[in-house]
Amino acid sequence: MSGEPVDLAAVAGSMNLRDVGGLRAGGGITRERTLYRSGTLAHLADDGVAALSRLSLRRVVDLRDAAEVDANPSRLPAAVPVERVPLFLGSVTSFFAEDIGLEEMYRRIVDDSSDAVVRAVRAVVVDQPVLVHCTVGKDRTGVTVAVALSAAGVDRDEVVADYARTAALLPVERTRAVIDWLRAQHPGSTNLEQLVAGSPADVMERLLGRIDAEYGSARDYLLSHGLSDDEVVELGRVLVAR
């Protein structure tokens, strides 16, 4: 295990921050204090930054695009290196304008941004403890972490349950304000609420099922897009205690 035990609730100003340790993985279990996931780190209070420093992070993987980063730069301990891996092709707002659903968004992530998914997973392999985040910690982070966990051998129901937790962890008032603002911009949208705040288990089930059908497994998906055999083996070693 890496880092030290920290009450993540003490990271004041964080959103959807959690440790993915403790998930069943065949005969093993995912290591605690190794891989964290979250939403934006732009609003950390000073004591939140201090609490985050006690995680002893060796890398932060930021999946946001340049406009998001410029508008809301992260507040991090000075010594933590950040790897920028923009995961969307195009802007976040384009998904609301097109009125696509989560399944289409996730299809585009795994099909059109596979190089970025591989880069993010490779960053998990290289340094731990590592934190992967985007703006909400739901979609880009959710897909990346789900693929990494699946490739490491974590049980499917555990991967899906970890993804599905997000909807209950988002701050209610902030989420409602975001939905109201976006609804004024896109009054005819049918997918807006799900895009902002939904993390339905069946959507992730179908995504992982499609990856299995097209590639054989999440492991094979990563291999087919540039991760090496050794890196996949190391991913399982660093994430899962057997």
Residues marked active site are found at 134
| Cα dist from 15 to 63, 163, 181, whole Å | 15, 15, 19
Is residue 232 within 8 Å of 151, Cβ to Cβ? yes
Q: Which amino acid is at 98?
A: E
Length of the chain: 242
Q: Could you tell me which of 46, 24, 82, 72 has the C-alpha nearest to residue 178?
A: 72
Contacts of 4 (CB under 8 A, 6+ apart): 33, 54, 55, 56
Which residues in the chain belong to E strands, given as ranges? 18-19, 24-25, 28-30, 35-38, 59-62, 82-84, 130-133, 240-241
Helix axes 140-151, 114-126, angle to 10 degrees: 60
**Whole-angstrom Cα distance, residue 163 to residue 138?**
7
* Measured CA angle at 50 (ends 33, 131), to 5 deg: 35
